[in-house]
Amino acid sequence: MSGTEELLVEPDRLAAELDRADPPALLDVRWRLTGPPGRDDYAAGHLPGAVFVDLDTELCGRPGAGGRHPLPDPAALQAALRAAGVRAGHPVVVYDGGDGMAAARAWWTLRWAGHREVRLLHGGFPAWIAAGLPASTEPPAQAPGDVEVRPGALPVLDAAEAARLAAADRGVLLDVRAAPRYRGETEPIDPVAGHVPGATNLPAPEYVGGDGHFPTADALRQRFAAAGVVDAEPVGAYCGSGVTAAQAVLALHLAGRPDAALYVGSWSNWVADPARPVATVEKPGS
């Protein structure tokens, strides 16, 4: 699956699809790294028919040595998706508060779980409202789904694989955190600052807007190429905990690289083992 038409859906088109007899399932995954919970936003207003799914507790595993947002237990994920009405072979649209990060991680998780027909509402809830489309405060009468979770449909990296890719002569491991975190100048969340040795920094704002809108596929290809992404050579991405990096993987899909791998544990997993090396960028003259 590649191309913007299959990965993103604009508000007006989604509204038309929701008027059909058998509309796509809608998952509201609004989330903030530091809170408050997205469920409060959902209660205040959401797309009609949408079901809230919690990124932290339903789409990811428990935080720990595997990182702050590790892979979910397949059985638990299947139960959560069925409760949200996700059906086997039936299209799903995910959306968040507008920056696209939580929605991208939801997209990635469903794709990893073997559910192919998943799209993002481009621009999220704010784009829906800006288009003059209605919101609801009523939870839908949701029939249970029958989706079957089959893990492994998208490539993942563990720490050892991320290290090998970063050090390899061919391919690139992208660190999509802000440049000061990559350089080791600051680390507001994790206990150690720096980056995986050999990783290339490509901060998220270089390939997606703060409103969650992506540039054209050609523009994305140019930006990734400038960061060393070469056709037919391996590419992976990581961030702090695998949420922003999932958005990078989505952008790579849009650019024609459906083989892009996600280091799910990301930096929060890397620094959980003090034996793993940490690189920083020294200031000139230091």
Instruction: Tell me the C-alpha distance between 213 and 98, whole Å.
Output: 8
Rounded to 10°, the helix 244-254/217-226 angle is 120
Q: Phi then psi for 7, rounded to 5 degrees?
A: -110, -25
60 in catalytic set: no
Single-letter code of the amino acid located at 87: R
Exposure on the CB side of residue 92, measured as CA atoms within 13 A: 30
Look at the block and give the residue holding tokens 């038309």.
16
Instruction: Tell me the C-alpha distance between 273 and 240, whole Å.
Output: 15
DSSP code, position 9 = E
DSSP code, position 50 = -
Q: ω before 205 within 30° of 0 (cis)?
A: no
Query: 252, 260 in Cβ contact below 8 A?
Result: yes
| β-pairing verdict for 235-238 and 261-263 | parallel
| Alpha helix stretches (DSSP H) within the chain | 4-7, 11-18, 38-44, 74-83, 101-112, 124-130, 159-167, 179-183, 217-226, 244-254, 266-270
**Catalytic position from the list 110, 202, 239, 250:** 239
CB atoms within 10 A of CB 90: 16
CB atoms within 10 A of CB 30: 24
Q: Catalogue the active-site residues.
A: 239
